[in-house]
Amino acid sequence: MTLIKSISGIRGTIGGQVGENLTPIDAVKFAGAYGAWLKQNREKENYRVVVGRDARISGKMIQNLVMNTLVGMGIHVIDLGLSTTPTVEVAVPMEHADGGIILTASHNPKQWNALKLLNEKGEFLDAVEGAKILDIAESDNMSFADVDSLGKITKNKAYIDLHIIEVLDLPLVTVKPIEQARFRVVVDGVNSTGGIAIPLLLERLGVDVIKLYCEPNGEFPHNPEPLKEHLTDLSAAVKKHGADFGIVVDPDVDRLAFMDENGEMFGEEYTLVACADYVLSRTPGNTVSNMSSTRALRDVTEKYGGTYEASAVGEVNVVKLMKKNNVVIGGEGNGGIIYPESHYGRDALVGVALFLSLLADKNISVSELRKTYPNYFMSKKKIQLTPGLDVDGILNTIENRYKNEQLTTIDGVKIDFSESWVHLRKSNTEPIVRIYTEAKSQSEADTLADKFIEEIGDIAKA
């Protein structure tokens, strides 16, 4: 089993040995390290941290361990209970808190959980600050409060509603036209907190909602990563109910994918493309996504006279480049919408509202909308890491072999060919090497991915 420490947080599997998995001891250790970092970083009299969780079976246990560790350090906790990642991000500045912790392993299966760590802006910590927390955890340099100085836990269950109000108040969210369109939508909430938040948002917009797996019990009915092969039930429900489209989110509601009226995937990569198309049509500007995202965002951005640039993978990297380039919308091709007008974090609620505004404006079906965008096809494959595999050495060999092509090496190795690209990198969230490719057809994308998987295998054997 596994414990991964990265810019995506402290992520691991439940159970097993201390230091090798996300055990109760590890949860306490890293929560304590975060609390110690907060005190070093902020240097004030009273500290407040917002804590929320997705509906994972282990969530309540991990949350209680984390919150009471902070209480033991004299830090006050605002307990949102069942929540979403973007809701916690929104709550931190609303509460004037010093930081936030989200207990979720995003798209990972149910045996995983994680501590995602936020700063006082409700944004993910960068690599430098994350490294400081890891150093504190390893040094055990933590000090706890005396009995008269313990923190307190305050429950606040209002923030999903407050988050929805914030989304509906965004100037580009056209509430009246959406209501008048009378959409019918099937929502797959993967039995986590998206099953709470997304239907509530849709109902506020006058949408006829059909719920599928919206009971937040943590029993994921399928692999929670929102990919086509996991969504056969959603496809059947969209067709059965004659819905205008389907919506699926991951367990913590920062990734968003759509299914058209025929039960076909709109394309997870095209969630950001469509939302950007709408935003850019009203507020022209620049965009950013990560290196593993589709070229279609570049094409749409340039259509409106803007400039597109790619960052290293990881939300904190995308946000950093978005701020530098003063972009109007950005995100990740995995269905993560980052809209600065709301906040600097991936937010499926914002994505749903922008997508509905676009559909109401264009008055066309989801399948017709998809045809208006450049047609690229992506293959997303992976290689499981084995002990002793020298990933860095393999990537260096690939880099040398393709040195005459257009290379980017800020995050693994990306090779841009004229009609396609391949991106090879170690995952921040799983013990795997990811192989992403994009081409003009699915067969070309798959063939390109298989070619590099075989090449990596040959290098590893040499």
Q: What are the pLDDT digits (tens) for 129-145?
A: 999 999 999 997 899 99
Same domain, yes or no: 262 and 335: yes
Q: In this predicted model, what pLDDT tens digit does every residue of 23-76 receive, in sequence order?
A: 999 999 999 999 999 999 877 889 999 999 999 999 999 999 999 999 999 999
- With both helix axes pointing from N to C terminus, report the angle between 194-204 and 348-362 in degrees, rounded to the nearest 10: 30
Q: When comparing pLDDT for 338 and 429, which is higher?
A: 338
Tell me the pLDDT band of 428, cut-offs 50, 70 and 90: confident
Q: Which amino acid is at 404?
A: N
Q: In this predicted model, what pLDDT tens digit does every residue of 106-124 receive, in sequence order?
A: 999 999 999 999 999 999 9
Number of domains in the chain: 3
CA-wise closest residue to 340 among 95, 130, 121, 162? 121
CA-wise closest residue to 47 among 10, 72, 84, 80? 72
What is the predicted pLDDT for the residue at 331? 98
Kindly state the helix (H) or strand (E) to which residue 62 belongs, with its residue range: helix 59-72
Q: What is the DSSP string of 347-370?
A: -HHHHHHHHHHHHHHHT--HHHHH
Q: Please report, for the domain that includes residue 442, its CATH number.
A: 3.30.310.50
**Domain limit, last residue, from 371, 388, 409:** 371
What is the predicted pLDDT for the residue at 384? 87
pTM: 0.93
- Asked if pLDDT for residue 268 goes beyond 70, the answer is yes
What is the predicted pLDDT for the residue at 228? 86
What is the predicted pLDDT for the residue at 264? 97
| Alpha carbon distance 454, 135 (integer Å) | 38
Same domain, yes or no: 129 and 175: no
- Asked if pLDDT for residue 427 goes beyond 90, the answer is no
Q: Give residue 446's domain range.
A: 377-461
What is the predicted pLDDT for the residue at 3? 84
**Domain limit, last residue, from 157, 188, 205:** 157
Parallel/antiparallel/unpaired status of strands 112-118 and 406-408: unpaired
Q: Please report, for the domain that includes residue 330, its CATH number.
A: 3.40.120.10
**Domain limit, last residue, from 141, 157, 173:** 157
Tokens of 91: 């709550």
Mean pLDDT rounded to a whole number for the chain: 95
Percent above pLDDT 70 for the chain: 99
Same domain, yes or no: 391 and 360: no
Tell me the pLDDT band of 8, cut-offs 50, 70 and 90: low
Say which residues have a Cβ less than 8 Å from residue 316's Cβ, sequence separation at least 6. Answer: 7, 123, 124, 125, 126, 127
Same domain, yes or no: 427 and 292: no
- Asked if pLDDT for residue 1 goes beyond 60, the answer is no
Q: Which residues of 57-93 are buried (b: 16+ CB within 10 A; e: fewer)?
A: ebbeebbbbbbbbbbbbbbbbbbbbbbbbbbbbbbbb
Same domain, yes or no: 454 and 388: yes
| Cβ–Cβ under 8 Å, residues 302 and 308 | yes
| Alpha carbon distance 386, 122 (integer Å) | 36
What is the number of other CB atoms lying within 10 angstroms of the CB of residue 262?
12
The 3-class secondary structure across 383-395, one letter per residue, is: EECCCCCCHHHHH
- Asked if pLDDT for residue 10 goes beyond 80, the answer is yes
CA-wise closest residue to 357 among 288, 281, 294, 301? 281
CA geometry: angle 100, 211, 254, nearest 5 deg:
25
Same domain, yes or no: 391 and 362: no
Q: Which amino acid is at 119?
A: N
| Alpha carbon distance 51, 183 (integer Å) | 34
Exactly one of 8, 58, 83, 106 is catalytic; name it. Answer: 106
Same domain, yes or no: 343 and 402: no
What is the predicted pLDDT for the residue at 45? 86
Q: For residue 84, how far is the Cα from the chain centroid?
A: 11
Same domain, yes or no: 167 and 293: yes
Same domain, yes or no: 424 and 366: no
Same domain, yes or no: 293 and 220: yes
What is the predicted pLDDT for the residue at 462? 74
- Our answer to whether residue 106 is catalytic in this structure is yes
Same domain, yes or no: 351 and 455: no
What is the predicted pLDDT for the residue at 318? 97
Same domain, yes or no: 81 and 110: yes
Percent above pLDDT 90 for the chain: 89
- Asked if pLDDT for residue 436 goes beyond 70, the answer is yes
| Alpha carbon distance 287, 301 (integer Å) | 7
Q: In this predicted model, what pLDDT tens digit does every residue of 353-406 receive, in sequence order?
A: 999 999 999 999 999 999 999 999 999 899 888 877 888 899 999 999 999 999
CA-wise closest residue to 86 among 123, 126, 130? 123
Q: Which stretch of 175-184, 319-328, 384-393 has the lowest confidence by average pLDDT?
A: 384-393
Kindly state the helix (H) or strand (E) to which residue 25 belongs, with its residue range: helix 24-42
Q: In this predicted model, what pLDDT tens digit does every residue of 193-250 receive, in sequence order?
A: 999 999 999 999 999 999 999 999 999 999 998 888 999 999 999 999 999 999 999 9
What is the predicted pLDDT for the residue at 237? 98
